[in-house]
Every structure is written in C-alpha cells, then in structure tokens.
Chains A and B, each alone.
Chain A
Amino acid sequence: MRSLDIKLMRDLWRMRGQALAIGLVIGAAMATFVMAMGVHHSLTQTRDAYYDRYRYADIFVNMTRAPRSVVERIAAIGGVARAEGRIEQFATLELPGRISPIRAKINSIGDGGASSLNRLVLIRGRGPDIQAAGEVVIDKAFADANSLTVGDRIGAIIYGSRSNLEVVGIGLAPDYIWSIAPGELVPDASRYGIFWMGEKALEAASNRTGAINALSLTLEHGASEAEVIRSVDAVVGQFGGTGAVGREDHLSNAFLTSELDQLEAMTRVIPPIFLLVSTFLVYVVLGRTIRTEREEIGLMKAFGYTNWAVGWHYLKFAFAIALIGIVMGSLAGWWMGRSMTGQYAEYYRFPFLIFQISPAVFAGGSLLSLASAGIGALGGVRSAVRLTPATAMSPPPPPVYHAGLVERLGDRAGLTAVGNMIVRHIARWPGRSAITSSGVAMSLGLLFAVIQFIDGSRAMLDNYFFRAQRQDISVTFIEPRNEKVLYDLAALPGVIRVEPARAVAVRMRHGAVAERVAIEAANNDDLLTARVDSDGFEVDLPAAGLMLSRPLAAKLRVSAGDNVEVELLGGRQTQTVMTVASIIDELIGTRAYAQESALSRLTRDGAPVGSANLLIDPLQRDEIITRLGEMPIVLGLTERDAAMELFEQIIEENIMSMMGFYIAFASAIAVGVVYNSARILFSERAHELATLRVLGYQRREVAIVLLGELALLVAIAVPLGCIAGYWLAQLMISMFSSDLFRLPFAPDRSSYGFAILVILAAAAATAMIVARRVTRLDMVRVLKARD
C-alpha cells in the first residue's frame, strides 16, 4: 500500500494545476456554505442571546390611549408571564442645518432606564431620570449618523410643544434591532431615531398622565400565542387597540428573520451548483487519468493488488482533491463569514456579537464536498476495477474517426484542415465537450443570476417610485385626521395637488387563519398614487370588495371571489364580511386595497386620513418643507427623490460589496472547467501539435488548434449560460422573496453582457496559461515517442 500512496502523491503533484483548479470550485462551494451557514448561525445565536438577555417581548400591541391599569388586566390573562406598558410618542427634532424634518420615536422607560421587558442596553452614559423632562437616551445608529454624543442637546417638538432634550446616554434595545419611520420605505438612521425618556417625564410631555399607548408581554412556557393575542385584543379593543402581534409580525424581528431566511436560501442554491460542476470535473479528469494509466493498472493487478485496492487508490485521488477544496473553502468561508457577520452587526443593531461557526457546519460542508468528488470518481473507479490485467496491458484502441455527419459538414463548410481537427475532436468526445460547455454555462448563469438582483432592485424602485408613487412629498400625521387637513395643506403656497392616503387597521379572517393588515383606501381617479403590478401595469381597484396582494391572499388561503371576515381594529370593533374581488401581484409588502366607498360600510364615517401626498412646485420646495415641518400635526415628511436615492445607495452598498465575491466565485467555475479541459486537450494533442510545428506551423497557429476548440466550446456555452442564468435567476428570486418585498425578474441586457464578459475573460486568461505550453513544446522529444 505504501508505494501506491507514493504514486498518489506524485500524481497529485504532477497534476497540481488541475487538482487545484477543481479544488477551487469545491472551495467555492465550501466557502459559500460555511459563510452563509456561519453567518446564519452566528446571527441567529446573537439574536437569540440578545432577545433572551434583554427580555424581548413575545406579543406587542398599540392602542390610542389606555389607563395604566390595563397592564394588570393583561398580566392576569392565562398564559401571560409578564406584561408591561409604555408610551410611544413621535416627536419632530430640530438639528442645526437640516431642512427636512427629523423624527424620533420616544419610548417611556423606568427610572434610570430600567424596564422589565425590551430592556435598554446602555452603551454610553446613563439612563434617563424618571422625572427629568429633558433627559433622553438615543439609539446608537442615530447618534452615529448625526455625530451626537452624551451631553449634546437636541431641540424637539413633542405633542405640539417645543422642548430641549439632553442626550444622557446612547443605547440599543432588542425591539429596535431594525427600525423604519412610519410611512417610509427605506430605513434612514440619520432622519429617524429611537429615544427613551423617563416615564413620568414623557407622561407629562405627551399629556398622558397615568396612561399608556403601547403594551408588550411575554408568554408563559407552553402558552398559545394565538389565544393570548385574542384575549389581549378583547381587552384593549375599547382603548383603540390596533391588533396585537407576535414576534413573527413585529417589524424589527420580521425584517431580521427575512434576512436570515435569505442567507439560508443562499446555502441551498449556490453551493449545489459548485458541487455539481466539481463532480463533473472529477469525472472528466479522473476518467482521463485512468485511461492513460491503463498499463499501470494492469501491472498493479498482475502484481496482485486487489480490485478494491486499485479502486480505492483512485477514489483517494478524488478525495485528496476534495480535501484541497475543503481546506481552502473553510478558510475563505470562515474569513468571509466573519467580515459579513461584522457588516450585518453594523447594519442591525446588536450590542454584542457571537461569531461562531459550529464544527457541524464544517463537517457538513466537508461531507458534501467529499461526496460530490466521490460521485464524480465513481465512473473512472469502476472502469479501473473492471479492467482485467490482460486487456489493460494491451494499448488502448486508438481513437477511431469515421466519415460521419460532422466530417461531411466540415467539408461542406470549407473548413481548413486545422478547422476540421477542432470540430472532429469535439465530436469525438461529445460527453467531455458537453461538460466543458455546460460548466462554463453554469458559471455564466450563476454570475448572471446574481447580477440581475441589482436590476431587479432597480426595477422594483422604478416600479414603486415612478409608477406607483408620483408625489413629491408625503406627509405623515401624528394622528389620523379628518378631511379638513387636506385643505390646510392645499392652502400652502406652491402645493399643486393634495391627495389623502387613508388606511384602516383591520384583522382579516378566513377559516382558521387571521392576519393583521391595513386596508388602503383609494380612488381610481387618484393621480399621485396608483396600484402597479409586478409587470409595471396599473391595476384598477374593484368597484366593490377588496383587492389583496398575492402573498396576503396566499397567507389567508383565499382566491378571488372568496369572502373574508374583516374586523376593524382600534376604536369601534366593527365586524363585517367582505368579498375578495381581485388579487394583485405586487413587489412590496402584504397589502390590501379598497375603493373608499367600499370601506364606508366598515368605518361608517369615511376612512381616517393618516397621511397625504403632495405634488409641489419644485422651486418652492424649501419653503414648503419648512412650513410643513412647523405644523404640529405633521409627524414626518418623505421626499420621494431622497428616498429613492437612499434606496439606490443601500442597493449599491449591500450588493456591490458582495459583487467581488460573486465574480470571483463564478469565475472559479469557469477557470476550473477551462483549465482542466485545456490541460486534457493539451496532453491528448501534444503529439499532433508537435507534428504541426514540424510541418511549419507557427506557434500561434498551433495554439489555435488548442484555443479554437476551447473557444468553440465556450461559444456554445454562452447561449446555454444565458438560458441557465434565466432559470437560475427565477429560482433565486423565488427563494429570496419575502413578505416584505419581492424582486421582479427584470434583467438589464447589459447584465447578460457583463456576465458574459467576465466569464469570457476568465476563460480566455485560463486558456492562455495553458496555450503557453505550446511555446515550450519540444518537437523532437514528442516525435521520438510513438503516438
């Protein structure tokens, strides 16, 4: 056995380039696997530890106004472990030099920042005094984005009156790992902050002495969330409760979860592609090695090595290659996982980070890598096992070329002799040629599928901002208003048009499923907003009944024509049955729409106006913003163009930062495939190439035989890759879609072009490396040997 192992080491060393190229592909699989699983695992661990240590609540509910005593009633509900109430009050901030309003959500908190649920993590400074009117703790992201620190003062308008806040601490909390201002689409830490203020102080400032408007609770072990939610809603209904939600629907956690799900989706899509390619590569390379080592195999068997020993020898060869990939991939994956977890931790607000990749992830990845290499080796190993010493010792039959279809076609096409050599060689080895082409195609498809996410995001942006939202500014009110507010806004100089945005919070029920959702009321003749489907077409609201977005319909298990029970949340708890008139495929959110008239049965008195959309004269923008900012009823302003820019920026930062990895990984496939094909091609054809040199062909003319075949295979791969990319993109889009948004498949033609260019460049560079061997071809030596 020892000497076989020495042979193994020598073979590996001799074929180090090829082994490394395959190792690279396996490594890419391993790296993505380790990275994605590692980040997923680390973030999950971090999240769970954070939730646990800082008592993230299980159920949340908001109300208009309730006496503090409601907390005890809630705590008394069976299954509730602990309940806590607080005030959540929006405020407008005044930071020097900023025109567009900056908003904060101020949460009340116990003395010194104490609370039993959703505990505050103080990073700097101290908690606010329970009484001190001006003391606040501000969240770290807001502090960082606005360069605020302990001791700084911020002017604020709370509940209509101006006050001066002092930053006494900087903190984080588990219920605000991710936050977004109401009415906004894109989180912007520079314009939206989470603050904590002493309970008594905030009661006074918001005119809510002895009252609360938000409540959260934890469940006892084994309690039913749905049941408790029902009981809670029954209690808080009279106080304008807007429907209790579990963690699953709590904004911060929902967003984090969707991100984690996407990470997991990545491990299910990308590594399998790499592993499949590496299986093919091992198959081709080992198959070729075994063909050239026929005589040695015969000798080994003649000397008494068992079939098993010979088979195991070649299997070990495949495993050794996998091992190279496992080592490279583990290191790369660990490193990438670390830096990505860091990035996530920055984006989300975690007070600490548990970066940990469990040995099981490495073990699992290694097992998958070994298995894919092993499967690739099976074909070759089987033929080695089957070879009898007698047949092995006789030279293999020479490749037989017949005057087949390809030959006649070549003649018809007037190919040169060299052209015929290229085409016939491909036809002689159709399986291997197919593997080369499909491998390159897969790398192209993978790269394209990743790049088109950028296009999809842009298209979503375009769909939402240009087609669905045409206003310049949307104004969110502190509390829902009646129609009068629209006239006030229209009266501002420079405001061209005002349209209300009305929404009512409801709970929809169909069978056993219930969903909390806001029905958006609109009219088909609205000019500033429209319902736009994923293909970019405007969809009219039904004359009667509801229009649901597809994911909401799926959650409720309804289709057009079904009835749903609709229960109004907050204030009166009217209940009615409405018909689902149509379903819309939208890109963002789980939403429900109705004509205003269709809603009146539910609300009785027209839907409340929660915000308004304005079309303005751009020349008077600054003036309008300032005037709006001064209106006490205005909670926030969103400027469409600014939001769009911010979104663009997020796309750029998030996706572009990963682009390098994806380009490198996809190229790894192309490099691995092309390098191995080129090396096999070269060694098979060394004799012919030397003959051509002898006949007077120049080096570059000879290189064409080698490169021409590769070029042809790569050229075949391009359209295949585009098709593969098309399907892969669909698959990835469906796996990456969440309740919050779905990306459309809207690739820019340049994305195909870019992917093609990258892969062609990788293929060309790799082929050139092998083509350089033509230069070093020793004609004399090659010709001494019989072919």
Chain B
Amino acid sequence: MAVHGDFSESDVRRAAFTGKSLRKTYVTGETEVHALRGVDLEINAGEILVLLGPSGSGKSTLLNIIGGLDRPTSGELWYDGKELTALDEADLTRFRRANIGFIFQFYNLIPSLTAEENVRLVTDISDRPMNPAEALELVGLQDRRHHFPAQLSGGEQQRVAVARAIAKRPGVLLCDEPTGALDSTTGVRVLETLANANRELGTTLILITHNAGIAAMADRVFNFLDGQIASIEVNQNRVAASEMTW
C-alpha cells in the first residue's frame, strides 16, 4: 500500500518545529562533551522523519530537547508559534502533556498497572483522549487489556507503549529506537502502528533508529554526525512499514 499520495501537499504544510543553532554541552568535571553543535532544523507537521547516525552523534539529545525532556544549552526551539526554550518547567510539562507522545527502546510501562491502566495513565490527564480500549485495539491488544506488563512479551509491551503514546491523539510522536529490542517481525508490527497513527491522526512522527532500512518509510531522513545534521535526504518513494524487512 503506497501512502505517498497523502503527502502531495507537503509544500504547503506548516512547520511543526523550528530550531535555531541548538547546542547542548555536557560539562563533567574538566571535560566538555558537545552533544549538539549548533543544529538548525525545520520539521514539518505530519511528516515522518527518521534520525540516523552513529552512536553518540546526538540523536537522543535532540529528540529529548524536542520533546521538552531536556533543554538546550543555547539556541531556540519553536513549536507551532511558541518558543519552547522560553517556557518554564510547568509550561514545558503542559506542552508535553498536550502534544507529545514518547516511545522508548525499553517500554517504560508501570509494572503495577495493567495494559489498559497504563494507557489510562495518559488518558486521565488529556483533553480529548481516545478510549483506552480503543487505543489498545489500534495496536491489536484488545484481548490483553487486563494483563500486567510482566504477563506480556516484549513486543506486546512495546505495543502497549505505542497505544499509550497515541491515546491522547498527540501532535507529535517521538520514538527513540522503538524496535531496538524487538525482532524484525515484531518490529514491523510496531512500525506499522506508528505509520497508521501518522496517516490517520496526522501525527508528526520522529523516529531514531540504527537501522537504515527503516529510513525507507520516512518522508525525510536527517543524517547525524558529531552533534550536527550532516545531511538531509528527502525520500520520494516512501515504503509502507509492512513492506520493510531487515
């Protein structure tokens, strides 16, 4: 199933994020680590963006800054006309609550809550969330809603994490190596779900991966090197997640 047709109006899409000379420097004792060395970027609303690059090149650092988990040492970051870098902690949390869904390599589910309750954790505090059961249905886990994380496989847990991330209908989904701990079949299922959310909810999808194959599903790919975006590829022939293998 080709999805690139959906993207025909890409030129007129608004920018979701705009970043200007974003820097992040970690100082530990005598040594300084420059995780980001002045990154300028523009991320379009509704696009699928893949961040590729060697280990330590700054991908996670950027993703965390975009998601409001971390702050740049200097530079500006704008989202939908608001300057995120000027927000205080509470407003940044509010921004995260309203707009961002996160998915990590390790699923970060709450072990004491069932699948459905893990999703409810988010719907409890969202404005116009999905029904938790509905979100679980989207990831194909409606039968497992009363199971605790310990009773689910890794892939199932990650799909619960995806359900949790999309349940609030976020504007942006941020995924840091979401398939890193999964085998290829399971990984594809997770990616399909993410692509669906992108297609059906118009969610901007930003995805870090070490797997160049996954870049095939992206609209654009940022290649990171040493704290900078070394190159940007625009993918003219987006491939459906279900057709990918690695």
**Is the C-beta of A420 less than 8 angstroms from some C-beta in chain B?**
yes
Verify if B89 is at the interface (C-beta below 8 Å from A): yes
Contact A696 B120 (CB under 8 A): no
User: 0/1 per residue, A344-368, Cβ < 8 Å to B?
Assistant: 0000000000000000000000000
Which chain B positions have C-beta within 8 A of A402?
148
Q: In this complex, what residue of A is CB-closest to B64?
A: A780
A692 x B121 contact (CB < 8 A): yes
Whether the Cβ atoms of B112 and A425 lie closer than 8 Å is yes
Nearest chain A CB to B42's CB is how many angstroms away?
24
Q: Which residues of A contact B110 (CB under 8 A)?
A: 417, 421, 688, 691
- Interface assignment of A413: CB less than 8 Å from any CB of chain B: no
Task: Point out the residues of chain A lying under 8 angstroms from B164, CB to CB.
Answer: 695
Q: Mark A156-199, 1 if CB is under 8 A from B, else 0.
A: 00000000000000000000000000000000000000000000
* Closest beta carbon of chain A to B104's beta carbon, Å: 6
Interface status of A786 (Cβ within 8 A of chain B): yes
Q: A687-B108, A694-B102, A696-B122 are in contact. Are A400 and B114 (CB under 8 A)?
A: no
**Chain B 121-161 interface residues, beta-carbon cutoff 8 Å to A:** 121-122, 124-125, 146, 148, 150
**Interface flag for A537 (CB, 8 Å):** no
Taken together as a complex, chains A and B put the C-alpha atoms of A691 and B165 apart, in Å, by 12
Which B residues lie within 8 Å of A424 (CB)? Answer: 112-113
Interface range on chain A (Cβ under 8 Å from partner): 20 to 34
Determine if B1 is an interface residue (Cβ-Cβ < 8 Å): no
Q: Provide the residues of chain A in CB contact with B97, threshold 8 Å.
A: 695-697
Instruction: Mark out the residues of chain A between 668 and 724 whose CB falls within 8 Å of any chain B CB in the assembled complex.
Output: 687-688, 691-699, 701
Q: How far is the CA of A387 from the CA of B232 in the complex (A)?
A: 54
Q: In the complex the two chains form, what is the Cα distance from A34 to B94 in whole Å?
A: 55
Q: Is the CB of B64 within 8 A of A417?
A: no
Nearest-neighbor residue (CB-CB) of A693 within chain B: B93
Given A696-B96, A697-B93, A780-B64, do A417 and B121 touch, yes or no (CB 8 Å)? yes
B69 near A779 with CB under 8 A, answer yes
Instruction: Report whether B102 and A695 are in contact in the complex, using a CB–CB cutoff of 8 Å.
Output: yes
CB distance from B162 to the nearest CB of A (A): 13
Check A308 for interface membership: any CB of B closer than 8 A: no
Q: Mark B63-95, 1 if CB is under 8 A from A, else 0.
A: 010010110000000000000000001100110
Whether A417 touches B96, Cβ cut-off 8 Å, given contacts A694-B108, A695-B102, is no
Complex: chain A residue closest to B109, CB-CB: A691
Q: Of A401, A425, A695, A699, which is within 8 A of B150 by CB?
A: A401
Residues facing B in A411-447 (CB within 8 A) are 416-418, 420-421, 424-425, 428
Residues B108 and A698 in contact, CB atoms below 8 Å apart: no
**A783: Cβ under 8 A from any B Cβ:** yes
Q: Is the CB of B108 within 8 A of A420?
A: no
| Nearest opposing residue in chain B for A698, CB measure | B93
CB-nearest residue of chain A to B122: A695
> From residue A350, how far is it (CB to closest CB) to chain B in Å?
63
Question: Once the chains bind, are A418 and B124 in contact (CB under 8 Å)?
Answer: yes
Contact sample, A vs B, 16 pairs, CB 8 Å cutoff: A401-B150, A403-B146, A403-B148, A407-B114, A416-B124, A417-B110, A417-B117, A421-B110, A691-B110, A694-B96, A694-B102, A695-B125, A696-B93, A698-B94, A699-B89, A699-B90
What 6 A-B pairs come out closest when comparing CB atoms?
Answer: A696-B97, A417-B121, A424-B112, A417-B120, A696-B96, A691-B108
- Which residues from chain B sit less than 8 Å from chain A, CB to CB? 64, 67, 69-70, 89-90, 93-94, 96-98, 100, 102, 104, 106, 108, 110-114, 117-118, 120-122, 124-125, 146, 148, 150, 164
